[in-house]
């Protein structure tokens, strides 16, 4: 019975403002650092092979890490998401409130 397989980076990945792109296995996705001053990541995103791009992902960690979860339909990812779902819900309601302020 097979449930899950992973493709992991073998060596450490080191990124900075000059070396700002990490290409995933077989070029399937890219992690791109858009703005980094050496202390805080102001902007970064993920791209897929077709050029689709996420928005800026720096918000939740306030630029202190690039930890990531993509795709709620993947059970591996959703288990992690469920641990932080209530916090994310509260953050998003706060953001909606900010955005709808007249």
Partner 1 sequence: MAADKAEARALMTAPAKNCAVVAEFPGIQDVTTKSYIRKITLSEGLVIRKSRIENGKIIIPPSGLYYTTRTPKSGVLQGDKVLLLGKLYQFVDQSTKLDVITNVWVGKKKGVPFGDATKRLRLSKLAMGANGFPVPNATFQILKQSGNYYGVAFPVATSNLFTDITSGKLNNGSGRKTGTYLPTDKGQDFETEYYASSVAISGQTYLVADKVTPKGAQVKEFATGALTSMLLSPNEPVEAVVGVGEKVKGGGFTAEVTKVGPNWADVKLTCDKSGAAYTKRLGPLTADVLKYMPVDEERRARFILRDPADRVQLQLNIYKAGGAFQNGKVQLALLTDLVKLGNPSPWTPDKRFIYRPDT
**CB burial class (10 A; 0-12, 13-18, 19+) of residue 92?**
exposed
Residue 93 interacting with partner 1 (CB under 8 A): no
Minimum distance between the CB of residue 36 and partner 1, rounded to whole angstroms?
7
C-alpha distances (whole Å) from 84 to each of 4, 68, 88, 93, 102 are: 22, 12, 6, 14, 30
Residue 87 interacting with partner 1 (CB under 8 A): yes
The footprint of partner 1 on residues 46-65 (CB under 8 A) is 46-50, 52, 54, 57-62, 64-65
Which one of 21, 42, 68, 93 is in contact with partner 1 (CB under 8 A)?
A: 68
Closer of 76 and 93 to partner 1 (Cβ): 76
């Amino acid at each position: 019975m097979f449930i899950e397989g992973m493709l992991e980076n073998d060596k450490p990945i080191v990124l900075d403002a000059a070396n700002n792109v990490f290409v995933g296995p077989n070029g399937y996705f890219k992690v791109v650092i858009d703005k980094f001053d050496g202390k805080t990541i102001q902007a970064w995103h993920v791209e897929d092979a077709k050029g689709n791009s996420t928005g800026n992902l720096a918000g939740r960690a306030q630029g202190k890490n690039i930890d990531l979860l993509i795709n709620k339909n993947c059970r591996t990812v959703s288990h992690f998401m469920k641990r932080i779902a209530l916090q994310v819900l509260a953050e998003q309601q706060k953001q909606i409130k900010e955005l709808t302020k007249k």
